[in-house]
Each structure stands twice: as C-alpha cells, then as structure tokens.
Amino acid sequence: MLERSTTQSHAHRLPFMVNSKTPLLVCFSHLRWDFVWQRPQHLLSRAAKHYNVLVIEEPIFKPDVRAHMDISQRPQGITIAVPILPEGLSPEDVLIEQHDLIEDLIGREATGPRMFWYYTPMALAFTSDLECDLCIYDNMDELSLFRGASLQLLELENNLFARADLVFTGGMSLYEAKRSRHHSVHGFPSSIEFDHFSKARSIDKDPDDQASIAHPRLGFFGVIDERMDLELVCQTADLRPDWQVVMIGPVVKIDPASLPQRPNIHWLGGKSYNELPHYLSGWDVGFMPFALNESTRFISPTKTPEFLAAGVPVISTPITDVVRPYGDKGLVEIAKTAQEVVARAEFILTRPKEAWLAKVDRHLAAGSWDKTWASMNKLMQDVLDGSISDRPTSSLPLYATTPAE
C-alpha cells in the first residue's frame, strides 16, 4: 500500500461533515465540474440548497506525488474532491487508492444522513462497501457505447442497478431501454435554464472573435467528439460557401487535425456557460450535426431547449430524443443530409419567426431545471420516508406531458 498524505484527505478538511444535521450527497462523476456546464452542474447546484454536496471526480495522475485528495470549493456551494495519484500504478492499485482516499474523507459508515449519487457505474468498483442511506443512479448517457468505454462498465452497471434505490435517465429513449431493469426508473430529459439563455434575444453586440464573421450564420455549441458528424459539417459548408458555420466547444477524444477546414467554417474553441448567450444572439440558425451512431443512440442533447430559449431556430439530425418531441411538434427542423440541412435552413431564413417563437415559449414554459430537481428530490424523500419503497413506478418528463400543439 502506498503512503498517503493526510493533510488534504482527512475528514476535518470538510467542516460540514462534523456534527452537521444537513444530509450529505456524495456524487461520483466521470465529468469534471469545470469542463462544460451541463446536467450534473444544473442538478447538483440546486441540490446544494438542500444538501451538503461533495463531488468526487476521476483521479489525476502526477509524477512523484503521494496519493492525496485535492479539495476545493465552487461558488455554487459544491465541494470538489479529486484523487491525486502517482503515475505508474497498476489498475488494482488505482482502485485501492481511490477507495482508501474516499473512505478517509467520508468514512466507511455513515455518521449522519448520507446519499450516493452515481454518474458512472465505474465508481462502484471502489465504493461498493461504503454505507449510504440512499443510492441514486443518474444515467445521463449510455456510457458503454462511447469511445474508449471500459469492458467492465456493463457488469458494474448491473451491480449498480441492484444497489440503487432510484434510477433517473437523461432522456426518454434511454428510459425506454432501462425501464425493465429496475423497479423505480424515472425519465428526466434535458431541461432548461430559460432566464439564462433567453438573454440572447436582447443582446445586440457580438463577441470580438465572432464580430467579423458574415451572415447568415449556422452555429453549434457543445463538446466536439465522436458524436459529431464532421462530414456533414463539411458538406453543408461546401454546398453554401456564402453561409458561415460557427463551431464552439472543446475537442475531445478525436484528433483536432481531423476537423474540416474551410474559409466558412469557424472553430472558436470552448466558451464559458456565461458567454454562450452572447454567441447565440448572433446566430441565424442553430445546427446540431450529430452523427447517427451507437454513441448518439440514446443522447438527449441539453442544447436543444437551450437553442430554443435563446430564440434560435434549430436544425438537427434525426436523434430520437430530438425528433420526439421537438421535431414532431415543429419546434426543431430535422435533416439527415447536407442537402436537407440547406433546404431546412433556407426555410428557416425565410419563415416569419413570431408564430414559431410563441409556440416555443409555450412548450418551454412546462419545464425547467428547478422543476426537474424538485421532482427528483421529491422521489428521493419519498424513498427515505418509505412511502415508495419496492413500488414499481415510472415518470414521464415534464415536456412529454404538455399537450400536443
């Protein structure tokens, strides 16, 4: 066993864990809190109003360090803990070190109300013997279909289903795929922070790196990875060289050299959550060029309602959770080929916007991240109170319950 530094790993580093009556929510995440603001950040920043929230991220490996936990705070009231491990450990030692650091931090046995919230089943490999009062699996993506997924993931997910009291899914197609695997599965698709993105409707000044780009502009924001159909982006740009394609987001798991380069394709890099409305305000059409592959089979893009809240008409490839309900309701245009993208964009650019936007606002008024979190928290409290234990149940998303228009 490696010698560990205790100066950053002992529970006294977390004052809220000492004699606190506020329940502790420990989240095990495969995503970095400071990476892209998405579902975990939306939900857990709201959870912090009710619980002491501790997010344990995946380890970072460094040369010549003692294993320790790097702890920091975020303005949303979140505590972030990152295991810092020496390079060169065996896979078995990586698991052991993570387990021991977490046990040092929170204890094997719960000394007060404690909940575990999993975004990745992989974390079960080093937390299965730690005690909690409530176990939640927020299954936001089908991680087993992502590039580089561990062969152990499916086995660990089976174990997590067996342990979990509640399972939430990040979309309805994922809900339909998982509903038979647990007695209490609830679909909660991507929601919206309307006030934030609707700022784009009244902003009339472009950011400096976008100001010189001509119109019309088709824009995308989000992680640029294997889920992106780069050939579709390239073909669309080639069909209409007088149109500009603006791409915002970090490049992950693919070679940046593979990004198509054209005079009318603009790769602007990652932007902060607070900056996004300023960029969206200058776009004529939102573009969601997702590839149709295994990694996108169950995705429910958060950016769909975000584009709509910004007042930006959207074209998407036929992702199931975009077609239902957004495409079916006429809120989002669906296109599979570059020719179809161009045709739908031409339609959008000539369509009066007022009636479409009124329809969008009626739809978005049915849901919010606040409502999603409130519904989740109600389910959590019901389980803790024993009112829904062992009762088969399911939930439809807030958006799915709105009347068809």
- Does 5 fall in a domain? no
The Cα angle at residue 130 between residues 29 and 23, in degrees rounded to 5? 70
Do 18 and 79 lie in one domain? The reply is yes
- Does 405 fall in a domain? no
User: Do residues 101 and 69 make contact, with C-beta atoms less than 8 angstroms apart?
Assistant: yes
- Does 255 fall in a domain? yes
- Does 21 fall in a domain? yes
Q: How far is CA 224 from CA 100, 116, 278, in A?
A: 35, 30, 20
Structural domain that includes position 123: 11-187
Q: What is the reported pLDDT for 16? A: 63
Per the structure, how many domains does the chain have? 2
The Cα angle at residue 211 between residues 208 and 217, in degrees rounded to 5? 130
Instruction: Give the CATH number of the domain where residue 132 resides.
Output: 3.40.50.2000
> Residue holding tokens 């695997």?
181
Q: What is the pLDDT of residues 158-204, one digit of tens each?
A: 899 999 999 999 989 889 989 998 999 999 998 999 999 999 999 99
Q: What is the pLDDT of residues 346-382, one digit of tens each?
A: 999 999 999 999 999 999 998 899 999 999 999 999 9
Chosen domain end from 155, 187, 219: 187
Q: What is the reported pLDDT for 17? A: 61
Q: What is the pLDDT of residues 206-248, one digit of tens each?
A: 999 999 999 999 999 999 999 999 999 999 999 999 999 999 9
- Does 375 fall in a domain? no
Do 181 and 218 lie in one domain? The reply is no
pTM, 2 dp: 0.82
